[in-house]
Amino acid sequence: MNDQTAYWLWIQQVIGYGSVKIDSILPNYTFAEDFYTASIDDKIRLGCFRKSDIPKLKNTSLDDAKNLIKKCKNLGIDIVSYGDEIYPDMLRHISAPPAVLFVKGDLGVISEYLSIAVIGTRSATVLGKKASFNIGYAFAQSNVCTVSGGAKGIDAQSHVGALHGKGKTVCVLGCGHECGYLSDFESTRKAIAQNGAVISEYPPDFKPTKYTFPMRNRIISGISSGVIVVEAGEKSGTNITVNCALEQGRDVFVYAPLAYRGTSIGTRNLIEDGAIPINNMSDIKKEYPDYFNITLEKSQLPEEPVAENSEISDDSEKNIGYSDEQMDMIINKVKMEFPIFYKVDILSQIPMEILEKVHFAMTDREKVEWLSLAKKYINIEKVVDEYLLVLKSTSDMENTDIESEFQPEKSVIGGDVVENLSDDAISVIKAIKEKDFQVDCIVENTGLSTARVHSALTELEINDIIEVIDGRSYQLKVDIPEKL
């Protein structure tokens, strides 16, 4: 905040939010105060104001702006104006940049880190949520700031993934900080402000409308070097952000593994229109080689199990170093991967450092290994038994003994799994059979494009149907029924 802040606020109150009028003001007035003191004739001469705007130019009080500054100070909200050094440089160069931003947290992370937006539908599938979480987590491990809009679905999971990875993330609101919108996301917004920033161009009590969210999308893309569309329908609002990104000269990526599923017609269309398909973080790394240092390996459970007779300290000792918000997020993630814990409330008995080992998209083997580790702390035989009953209908674990080392024989792919696979994935399965194949061989055998083959392969890896060998070839991990 500086001595020009009140004048920038006044400008925003006069021209409105997301107004292109500012594009005419900025080249002609370096200081907001100069525009404030300019005559009405000089203002009209800019060409962006009509006669109907004159009453607002004359009657809008600077005192209202000064009172808003006091209010924000009491609420712990920083006001960053276009004239402040910390104002994101990338945002200065878009059309209709916000005159001011209301900020909780550290806006400087946008300039300090490579920032990439992760966007998609509010009605995300489980795979879509897991993918966005994993992208946010991988970005955190690579000193990349995850940008999104804080909405339910893809947005929320990308923020949560970044927080779990102890990285930086920025949430761009389509309303004021204190309007009460999405109150159940409040604890996550607080965590974001502590590990990045929550920003809005709207004053604290401003309620969302059908116009505010589309307007904020230009800011999401504006502060980002690129945007990744994880999952979107044909008429998704995500397309607004994509259009903003293209107008601003940003890179547009599509998460290819979900692009050819029925719920992702919008993302598939983007690929056909020239968006860059990505299958993993190494694909992003190629686009920003100077910034990325991503490790693609999944986090592993400890090699040595906890001793049988380990004594459990009380919660205050075993959970030291974790905030309430962090513990809530960890427990929610465990419940998503192990739904049985919604019924049996015993997670509080397991140390956070063990609960934190759970990650999205765990394989059945990883789940069994984690349960074996967790049971060292409490008696959860009933939970394990119930969970295994669930797995029997969807996995290759029917005859697995929880106490033995998990080394399952090759199983037969279930019909319920096949029903959920895309046509491309089934074509790839038929091409691979039980032989080892490289991508070019699969492309030749299926007639699919390389991008679609990569998408199908990633889908099959997610479903634990294939595995990579020698870093280049693929082989089946399961037997394929004769009639596929």
DSSP labels, 248-298 = TT-EEEEEGGGTTSGGGHHHHHHHHTTPEEESSHHHHHHH-TTT-----SP
CA torsion sign, 78 to 81 to 86 to 88?
positive
Instruction: Provide the 3-class DSSP secondary structure of residue 438.
Output: strand
Residues 462 and 345 in one domain: no
Looking up residue 439, the CATH number of its domain turns out to be: 1.10.10.10
Q: Which residues pair with 277 in a beta bridge?
A: 254
Report the pLDDT value the prediction gives residue 464, as an integer from 0 to 100: 65
Looking up residue 180, the CATH number of its domain turns out to be: 3.40.50.450
Report the pLDDT value the prediction gives residue 300, as an integer from 0 to 100: 28
**Which residues span the domain enclosing 319?**
315-409
**pLDDT tens string for the chain (484 positions)?**
568 999 999 999 999 998 899 999 999 998 999 999 999 999 999 999 988 889 999 999 999 999 999 999 999 999 999 999 999 999 999 999 999 999 999 999 999 999 999 999 888 888 888 888 888 888 888 889 999 998 888 998 899 889 888 899 999 999 999 988 777 778 888 999 999 999 999 999 999 988 888 899 999 999 999 999 998 877 777 888 999 999 999 999 998 877 777 667 777 888 888 899 887 777 888 888 877 654 433 332 223 222 223 232 334 344 555 666 667 677 766 766 665 565 556 677 777 777 877 765 566 677 777 777 777 776 555 555 555 554 444 443 333 332 322 233 344 455 545 556 677 778 888 887 656 567 778 888 888 877 677 767 766 765 667 776 654 567 777 766 665 5
Residue 408 exposed, middle or buried by CB count within 10 Å (0-12, 13-18, 19+): middle
Q: Which residues pair with 115 in a beta bridge?
A: 145
Q: Which residue has the tokens 């929550």?
A: 198
DSSP assignment string, 291-344: T-----SPP---SSPPPTTPPPPPHHHHTTT--HHHHHHHHHHHHHH-GGGGTS
Report the pLDDT value the prediction gives residue 98, as an integer from 0 to 100: 96
For residues 192 and 198, the answer to whether their CB atoms sit within 8 Å is yes
In a domain, 306, yes or no: no
For residues 17 and 212, the answer to whether their CB atoms sit within 8 Å is yes
Residues 112 and 239 in one domain: yes
For residues 202 and 212, the answer to whether their CB atoms sit within 8 Å is yes
SS3 helix, strand, coil % of the chain, rounded to 5?
45, 10, 40
Q: What are phi and psi of 179, to 5 degrees?
A: -85, -10
DSSP assignment string, 179-233: S-TTGGGHHHHHHHHHTEEEEESS-TTPPP-TTHHHHHHHHHHHT-SEEEE----
Q: Which residue has the tokens 């930086």?
A: 168
In a domain, 188, yes or no: yes
Report the pLDDT value the prediction gives residue 410, as an integer from 0 to 100: 43
Name the pairing type of β-strands 144-148 and 169-172.
Answer: parallel
Of 81, 100, 119, which one is at a domain's C-terminal end? 100
Residues 404 and 421 in one domain: no
Residue 154 exposed, middle or buried by CB count within 10 Å (0-12, 13-18, 19+): buried
For residue 229, give the nearest of 121, 91, 130, 156 by alpha carbon.
121
HSE (CB half, 13 Å, CA atoms) of 19?
A: 17
Residues 92 and 161 in one domain: no
For residue 150, give the nearest of 187, 113, 125 by alpha carbon.
187
Residues 6+ apart with CB under 8 A from 293: 142, 143
Instruction: Provide the 3-class DSSP secondary structure of residue 464.
Output: coil
Count of all residues that appear for the chain in the document: 484
Residues 49 and 93 in one domain: yes
Report the pLDDT value the prediction gives residue 296, as an integer from 0 to 100: 37
In a domain, 156, yes or no: yes
For residue 268, give the nearest of 221, 232, 228 by alpha carbon.
232
Report the pLDDT value the prediction gives residue 177, as an integer from 0 to 100: 94
Residues 225 and 372 in one domain: no
Instruction: Provide the 3-class DSSP secondary structure of residue 483.
Output: coil
Number of folded domains that form the chain: 4
- Within 16-125, where are the H helices? 22-25, 32-37, 40-45, 54-59, 62-75, 89-92, 109-112
State both tokens at 82. 């276009």
Residues 394 and 441 in one domain: no
Spatial separation of the C-alpha atoms in residues 299 and 270, rounded to whole Å: 31
In a domain, 295, yes or no: no
Angle at 300 between CA 152 and CA 389, to 5 degrees: 70
Full-model pTM = 0.63
Residues 155 and 220 in one domain: yes
Spatial separation of the C-alpha atoms in residues 63 and 99, rounded to whole Å: 17
In a domain, 294, yes or no: no
Instruction: Provide the 3-class DSSP secondary structure of residue 408.
Output: coil
Q: Which residue has the tokens 């593994």?
A: 257
For residue 467, give the nearest of 475, 458, 479, 457 by alpha carbon.
475
Residues 131 and 33 in one domain: no
Of 392, 409, 426, which one is at a domain's C-terminal end? 409
Of 393, 409, 425, which one is at a domain's C-terminal end? 409
Residues 404 and 472 in one domain: no
Residues 331 and 396 in one domain: yes
For residues 2 and 83, the answer to whether their CB atoms sit within 8 Å is yes
Residues 128 and 182 in one domain: yes
What residue type is 96 in one-letter code? A
Spatial separation of the C-alpha atoms in residues 204 and 437, rounded to whole Å: 57
Q: Which residue has the tokens 């370096």?
A: 30
For residue 225, give the nearest of 129, 93, 323, 133 by alpha carbon.
93
Task: For residue 338, count other CB atoms closer than 10 A to its CB.
Answer: 20
Report the pLDDT value the prediction gives residue 71, as an integer from 0 to 100: 96
In a domain, 337, yes or no: yes
Helix (H) or strand (E) holding 226: strand 226-229
In a domain, 309, yes or no: no
Report the pLDDT value the prediction gives residue 468, as an integer from 0 to 100: 63
For residue 38, give the nearest of 16, 2, 11, 69 by alpha carbon.
11
